[in-house]
Amino acid sequence: MTDTLPTDTLPTVRLRPNAEARAIRHGFPWIYADELVTDRRTRALAPGSFARLEDAERQPLALVTVNPASKIIARVMDSDPGAVIGPDWLAARLSRALALRERLHDAPFYRLVHAEADGLPGVVIDRFGDAAVIQPNAAWAETHLDALAEALVAVTGVATVVKNGTGRARGLEGLVEETLVLRGALAGPVPVPMNGAVYMADLLGGQKTGLFYDQRPNHAFVQGLSRGARVLDVFSHVGGFALAALAGGAAHALAVDGSAPALALAEQGAAAMGAADRFDTRRGDAFDTMAALAEEGAAFDIVICDPPAFAPSKQALEAGLRAYERVARLAAGLVAPGGFLCLCSCSHAADLTRFRTASARGIGKAGRRSQILFTGFAGPDHPVLPHLAESGYLKALVFRLAP
């Protein structure tokens, strides 16, 4: 990649007459395969190529990146068709993203780039102090990963850059899975301070980038309810809500997850906080473990369930909603009278209304009555592109259950 690529050398791709060019002009960032003229020349473009996009009347619309192998065949890189995608362009996008995060957070632990919402299509970057993890989930980012890493180091000054090439999004782009250190080195898990807790993030072997920053404000709300509470955190990952609750003065927290390495990291985090004596873990299937706890007669003042995406696509929506209902039913039965239940969904296909309905149905089937105290979303370091519902995927509902 260079910063001197003349735009007149770029290929041109064109929308079909039935495509909605107005949506692109107003900020929608994706062009689907059935909206683009896919002649032999377009199909021959290498995944990750840049091209100028025109409407059906051959009027210029934007500079895009093209992947003929993807259902999202083109992504808008810049609304200026004459833009040059090179080191200066990358540095400008990263600098703008960094300026927002430095305004939001006092310490360099946050999501630095949230894909299309930060003007870097398909790219996620999480920062962990002097280290950063890039998820190149679009073909252009995979092709130009070295240039992206160089710009990241230049703009932020991080010493270590990790590529996390895993996840469903890469498969949809035709990209293989791969995780490796691109710059610098890692000595082990990275301690991350957040909401007064300490989380241990495994940047090479953990889920996603190693930690979920998106739940920060929802952790904080539950933390405010936690003084003296008995807390159950199901689908806990590396301690999630449990460690936040301990930092808020919870009497005890039990973390449940299917991953032994994740629970080991949660234990390390609790020890780093000086809260190991108030923390326990239980490895197992979440549904089976909640059923077993009910048989044991266990009750908690606060129960949190933060599962993986049960509805990652429209095709999985109905099954996913049934799973969310089941989670709510099992979890509600473990909440002590007058206690609190926090239910979360990271499924963009299940909107807030559907998720709330499924959760309320499950609580009702458990024989409990409830009121909603709080509706939360991802933190502001996960900005939402107004035109793209998928960028606002996270929902969190906190219920108070009647005595």
Catalytic residue among 305, 342, 344, 346: 346
- Residue (of 180, 123, 179, 184) closest to 153 by Cα position: 184
Q: What is the pLDDT of residues 70-98, one digit of tens each?
A: 999 999 999 999 999 999 999 999 999 99
Q: Tell me the backbone φ, ψ of residue 385, rounded to 5 degrees.
A: -80, 120
pLDDT in tens, 122-155: 999 999 999 999 999 999 999 999 999 999 999 9
* 346 tagged catalytic: yes
Listed in order, strand segments (DSSP E) in 190-268 are: 190-194, 197-201, 230-234, 252-257
The rounded distance, in Å, linking the Cα atoms of 401 and 276 is 29
Q: Please answer whether residues 398 and 376 qualify as being in contact, where contact means their C-beta atoms are separated by less than 8 angstroms.
A: yes
Instruction: Write down the mean pLDDT value for the chain.
Output: 95
Q: Higher model confidence: residue 61 or residue 2?
A: 61
Write the pLDDT tens digit of every residue in 282-307: 999 999 999 999 999 999 999 999 99
* Strand pairing class (160-165; 131-136): parallel
pTM: 0.95
3-state secondary structure of 367: coil
Domains of the chain and any CATH numbers: 7-78 (2.30.130.10), 87-183 (3.30.750.80), 190-401 (3.40.50.150)
Q: Are 345 and 310 in contact (CB under 8 A)?
A: yes
- Sheet strands (E) in 184-246: 190-194, 197-201, 230-234
